[in-house]
């Protein structure tokens, strides 16, 4: 579906993640804001686009916003989208080619044969894939923050994965490692620093368990620290106590070695 939106005001809600639809919003005037999980908000201003599949929970459109909205089959794009929101510039060559095709389809669709309509549909999907595969443009600080948040969401879902690294995240998000590091720099945190901090926080929560509390060596291995000593030093730097001291101060016995 291809639609033009001319809005005085609009607030929307959740899309069912089982729904086989992806939505691309290409904003022409004013802005379209999306509120993601944990309350993080991304605003897509004029001259930019957002593409999502069951990503943000709510959205709000500023008064006077105009946009072109494409409703696309998510199954064809899922490997490139995942459950994240993708934002970028509408001025790239790939986006300009896509929008030119959309304009032509809108003008000529009534005259197309079924075979021609199917070909136009297939071309549109391939052009959207071309937009998604282009390298992320991190010259816009707002977009860098959006990329950093997408990477953090991915880290949170794979914290115990031994392959979790900046290069793996970059591959999953279809960006270069350099672009990923620059996006985190804009968010004032390193990629490795966020991974380490998140793993330590999960280990800290496990130390609060009243039953089945893991040992120090088990925690170190599960959260991908090189060894127990490395884990203990990192834990103390972050929380000011060793894991054993923290466990005792929380009212339980110290975990075993």
pLDDT in tens, 194-241: 999 999 999 999 998 867 788 999 999 999 999 999 999 999 999 999
Q: Which two tokens stand for residue 34?
A: 């999306």
Partnered with residue 59 across adjacent β-strands are: 12, 34
Say whether pLDDT at 16 is over 60. no
Whether the per-residue pLDDT at 28 is higher than 60: the answer is: yes
Indicate the Cα dihedral angle 199, 164, 186, 238, nearest 10°: 20
> What does the mean pLDDT of the chain come to?
81
The pLDDT tens digits of the residues spanning 62-113 come to 678 888 999 998 888 877 777 677 888 888 888 888 898 898 888 888 898 9
- CA separation for the pair 237, 244 (Å, rounded): 14
- Nearest of 96, 116, 181, 100 to residue 144 by alpha carbon: 181
Pairing type for strands 65-72 and 41-45 reads unpaired
Radius of gyration of the chain (CA): 23
Does the pLDDT of residue 146 top 80, yes or no? no
pLDDT of residue 140 exceeding 50, the answer is no
The answer to whether 242 touches 235, Cβ cutoff 8 Å, is yes
Tokens representing 219 are 């925690």
Residue with tokens 């060596």: 217
């Amino acid at each position: 579906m291809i639609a033009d939106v001319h809005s005085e005001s609009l607030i929307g809600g959740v899309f069912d993640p089982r729904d086989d639809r992806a939505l691309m919003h290409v904003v022409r005037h004013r802005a379209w804001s999306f509120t993601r999980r944990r309350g993080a908000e991304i605003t897509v201003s004029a001259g930019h686009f957002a593409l999502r599949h069951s990503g943000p929970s709510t959205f709000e459109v500023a008064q006077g916003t105009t946009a072109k909205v494409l409703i696309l089959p998510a199954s064809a794009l899922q490997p490139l989208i995942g459950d994240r929101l993708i934002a970028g510039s509408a001025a790239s060559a790939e986006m300009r080619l896509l929008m030119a095709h959309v304009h032509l389809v809108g003008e000529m669709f009534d005259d197309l044969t079924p075979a021609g309509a199917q070909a136009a549909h297939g071309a549109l999907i391939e052009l959207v894939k071309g937009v998604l595969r282009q390298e992320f443009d991190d010259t816009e600080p707002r977009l860098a923050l959006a990329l950093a948040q997408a990477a953090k969401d991915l880290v949170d879902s794979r914290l115990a994965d031994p392959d979790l690294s900046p290069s793996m995240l970059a591959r999953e998000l279809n960006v270069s490692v350099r672009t990923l590091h620059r996006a985190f720099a804009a968010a004032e945190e390193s990629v490795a620093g966020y991974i380490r901090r998140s793993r330590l926080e999960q280990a800290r929560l496990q130390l609060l368990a009243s039953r089945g509390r893991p040992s120090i060596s088990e925690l170190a291995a599960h959260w991908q620290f090189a060894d127990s000593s490395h884990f203990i030093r990192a834990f103390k730097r972050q929380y000011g106590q060793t894991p054993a001291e923290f466990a005792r101060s929380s009212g339980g016995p110290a975990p075993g070695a």
